[in-house]
Every structure is written in structure tokens, then in C-alpha cells.
């Protein structure tokens, strides 16, 4: 989460209106669902990835570090689809399923790259602003904001505890390191609970009315950026519709 947030604040599109980035990501997702051929799906995934890497200038190392977990899940899912139970027990390779599995994998990859583009270029406050304009439930937005805050609180408490343990030779050897990590994890649960209670007490003391409000960011070029996003999204949708009609 820290890596994603740092990339969103450091990228070239940090000041772009979140509505424009959301429209482009939505167009990429819809185009991926419409397309049928593996070539077009691979092209859609490549275009979304290039928009994030070359357009927003997200570092390649950061992009692959964030994409590693969903790519691993996707690879494992595809592997289980081409391996079927054998008659005498065990598993057998089913090459006849490869065309269908490849389409599923490429469609998932195209959707993933579109979502990653939105994640790695849009800070959380801008994303909350976009969801509020889309009339998302206030309870959901408040839970997202509090969870976002608690992640950084948890990271800070973990770093402080780990530094204190290292200063007392708590990480000397693998066995001692695992024991120290277990003790720290147990203490972390108590600390996070206490800090969450403190946040609730602070909100009650300020007459909290059930919704968290933030200073909205200004995007002076929002109309031009939305128009460009609509144009780019229309290109993706036209490519997908052409593939659907041709198929």
C-alpha cells in the first residue's frame, strides 16, 4: 500500500482529474470484456500498461512489484484450469483447453492493467473524491478512509517495534527473529486497537456527524483532461467493438 501511494503521488498524472483517469480505466475494462480474440486482448493490456508506464511515468520496477501478486494469482488460476483430474488418480495436462484459458488469461490481464493504471496514478484522497461524486455510500467511504489511515499507523508501529527489537539483539539468528516477530505481532494488535479507540474518541469529541470530509483538490484542466480521456477510451472501445463484430 505504501508503494502504491508513493507511486501515485510521484507520477506525472498526479494532478490529472480523477474523473479522467477513472473514465480511461473504465473504458479499458469494458473493452476487455467486449473483445474476444487473444491478439486484441493482448494489445489492450499493452496499451493500458504503456499509458501507465510511458504516459504517467510510473517506474517499471514499481509497476511489476505491485503487479506481482495478481500475476501470480492469475498464473496459478490458469494452471488449475488446464490441469484436470486423471482417471487413475493425480492430474493430467489438457492441451485442448489452452485456447479458452488463453483468452481468459489475456482478458484478466487487460482488466488488471486498466485497474493498475488507476491505482498507481490516483492518490487515495482523489479516489475518495471521485467515489463521493459518484454517490458511493458514505459508510463505505468512511471505512476506506479509516482503513487507509490505519495502514500507515500499523506500518509506523511495526517499524518502531522492529527497530527497538533490533537494538536489543532481538533479530540475532532465524529462531530469535521469528520469536521477535511473533511477539511484535501480538503487541501490534493491542496497539492498533488502542489507536483506533483514540481516533473514535477524537471524532466523538469533535461532534462527528457520520461522514469524514476532506479539503477537495482543484483540477483547473479537468474538462480538457476528461475530453482526452474520452477520446482515448473511445479508441479502446472502437478496437474492442471491431474485434467483437469481426468475430
pLDDT for position 71 = 92
d(C-alpha 122, C-alpha 8), whole Å? 5
Q: Helix (H, G, I), strand (E, B), or coil: what is residue 188? A: helix
Q: DSSP states of 12-69 as a string?
A: TTTTS-HHHHHHHHHHHHHHHHH--SHHHHHHHHHHHHHIIIIIS---HHHHHHHHHH
pLDDT in tens, the chain (247 residues): 678 888 888 888 888 899 999 999 999 999 999 998 999 999 999 999 999 999 899 999 999 999 999 999 999 888 888 877 776 666 777 777 788 889 999 999 999 999 999 999 998 888 888 888 888 887 787 777 777 777 777 777 777 777 877 777 777 777 777 877 777 777 777 777 777 777 777 767 766 666 666 666 778 888 998 999 999 999 999 999 998 888 6
pLDDT for position 120 = 92
pLDDT for position 114 = 94
pLDDT for position 211 = 64
The alpha-helical segments, DSSP class H, found in 83-137 are 98-119, 124-133
Q: Which value, in Å, is the radius of gyration of the alpha carbons in the chain?
A: 23
The residues pairing with 33 across neighbouring beta strands, listed in sequence order, are none
d(C-alpha 196, C-alpha 8), whole Å? 26
**pTM of the entire structure?**
0.79
Amino acid at each position: 500500500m505504501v508503494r502504491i501511494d508513493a507511486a501515485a503521488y510521484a507520477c506525472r498524472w498526479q494532478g490529472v482529474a480523477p474523473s479522467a483517469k477513472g473514465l480511461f480505466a473504465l473504458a479499458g475494462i469494458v473493452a476487455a470484456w467486449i473483445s474476444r480474440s487473444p491478439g486484441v486482448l493482448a494489445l489492450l493490456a499493452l496499451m493500458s500498461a504503456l499509458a501507465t508506464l510511458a504516459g504517467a511515468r510510473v517506474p517499471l520496477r514499481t509497476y511489476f512489484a505491485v503487479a506481482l501478486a495478481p500475476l501470480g494469482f492469475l498464473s496459478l488460476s490458469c494452471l488449475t484450469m488446464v490441469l484436470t483430474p486423471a482417471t487413475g488418480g493425480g492430474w493430467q495436462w489438457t492441451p485442448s483447453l489452452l485456447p479458452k484459458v488463453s483468452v481468459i488469461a489475456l482478458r484478466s490481464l487487460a482488466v488488471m492493467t486498466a485497474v493498475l493504471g488507476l491505482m498507481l496514478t490516483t492518490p487515495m484522497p482523489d479516489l475518495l473524491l471521485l467515489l463521493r461524486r459518484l454517490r458511493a455510500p458514505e459508510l463505505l467511504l468512511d471505512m476506506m478512509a479509516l482503513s487507509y489511515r490505519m495502514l500507515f499507523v500499523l506500518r509506523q508501529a511495526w517499524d518502531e517495534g522492529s527497530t527497538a527489537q533490533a537494538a536489543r539483539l532481538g533479530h540475532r539468528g532465524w529462531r530469535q527473529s521469528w520469536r521477535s516477530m511473533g511477539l511484535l505481532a501480538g503487541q501490534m494488535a493491542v496497539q492498533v486497537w488502542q489507536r483506533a479507540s483514540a481516533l473514535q474518541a477524537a471524532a466523538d469529541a469533535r461532534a462527528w456527524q457520520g461522514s469524514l470530509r476532506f479539503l477537495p483538490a482543484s483540477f483547473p484542466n479537468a474538462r480538457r483532461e476528461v475530453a482526452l480521456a474520452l477520446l482515448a477510451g473511445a479508441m479502446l472501445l472502437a478496437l474492442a467493438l471491431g474485434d467483437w463484430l469481426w468475430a
